[in-house]
Amino acid sequence: MRRVVVTGLGLVTPLGRDVDDVWHRLLAGERGVTAPQRLGGHVPPSRAVGEVTGELWEAVTKGETDPRTAFARAAADDALTMAGIQHGAHDRAGVILGAGPGANSITDIDRFLDEDGRFDAVAFARNLDTLDPESLIRNAAERPAAEIARAYGIAGPVHAVTTACSASNQAIGMAYRSIRRGETDWVVTGGSDSQINPLGLVFFVLLGAYANVDHEDPASAGRPFDRRRSGLVMGEGAGIAVLESEEHARARGATILAEVCGYGSSLDAFRTTAPPPDGRGAAEAMAAALGDGDVGPGQVDFVNAHGTGTKRNDPAEIRAVRTVFGDHADEIAVSSSKGAMGHLLSAAAGVAFACCVKAVQEGAIPPTANLTEPDRMCDVDLVPDPNRRKPVRAAINNSFAFGGQNACVVVRRYEEQGA
């Protein structure tokens, strides 16, 4: 079993692209949630989003019609540059990415219905080039991973993981296991997603999961763990990492940022859009990740929470934390970045993973944005503003998705064996 390390990170987020800049903006308590700016003439279903806009949008899309692919390519370029890996023939490398599954626009479907409401599939197929460029039929979920592999000559395993909000963590876990078993030397992993469009937004509004928005201050809409939280805020972006075997990284003189040392996954087997109140599925995934890495609960100093700001998720997650960590839960810092950037869906855990790496590197934990009145049911250190400075020996990255998919990854400070 080989040790697995992190040698590169890349981000595209509502707070920017440069990893250190995004990290320091998070530490400073800045927020990237705004009113929608990219929907044109459409009346947005919500007035608060974590959107990639302006110069950053232009810099990363460069004419690409699928934001998921554009974000993933840009973040992967930065991660591979940081890792010191160039284009070439990489037979023992892979790409394993979480990605949003996409959807076909309602307007694309509607115009191919006859007077009786029957869908004309033949006419639809003949007019694919006229469909919305972000539609599933034109941009399948595996495209971000495949495009990165083609661009860099990566000829090993290439996978797309579409398990909603846990997709990035499951992708990172798969990459970690592939390297640990010796199947690959390094893997580009993480996730990318974008549903900042009328169909994507209205889905969560109709579910009753979207936050109530103060039109004067959309940045305050996402309130993880706060007594007044009302739901999630949609975000978009990408979080990409290069994972590598320690042996391979040291042989080529790469800078090692942190070590990945545990992965656990579970299924709630409860409800599609709500966790069990006792958080048992989340607890099982966290405990499995710690056990996989032989990391004791007392060694963890930071829980990077899923923390969506929904009424049911937040207390269930804290119950799970208390179940797993016992009395040590009172010593752990728990924070969520979703108040600052929104919920990046399939990309969320990829961005949060980068935050875990930075936390163990720098001994700093970002605050939970918009946390002014902590819910009494969320009775742990939730890091209200300002940020927390403390040594972080190990951090656990939580992701708990609709459908009941749970995935957790443990990151710890890298130390050479025998050092």
| Active-site residue set | 165, 306, 343
User: Could you say which DSSP state residue 113 is in?
Assistant: B
**d(C-alpha 253, C-alpha 240), whole Å:** 21
**d(C-alpha 352, C-alpha 368), whole Å:** 13
Complete DSSP assignment for 266-317: EE--S-SS---TT-HHHHHHHHHHHHHTT--GGG--EEE------TTHHHHH
CA distances from 137 to 25, 67, 175, 223 (A): 37, 15, 27, 35
- Of 345, 299, 374, 305, the C-alpha closest to 161 is 345
- Of 275, 235, 247, 219, the C-alpha closest to 53 is 235
Q: Would you say how long the chain is, in residues?
A: 419
- Of 248, 200, 406, 408, the C-alpha closest to 313 is 406
**d(C-alpha 406, C-alpha 268), whole Å:** 8
Torsional sign, CA 238, 228, 303, 280: negative
Task: Kindly report the number of other CB atoms within 10 A of residue 412's CB atom.
Answer: 22
CA distances from 395 to 149, 363, 372 (A): 29, 11, 24
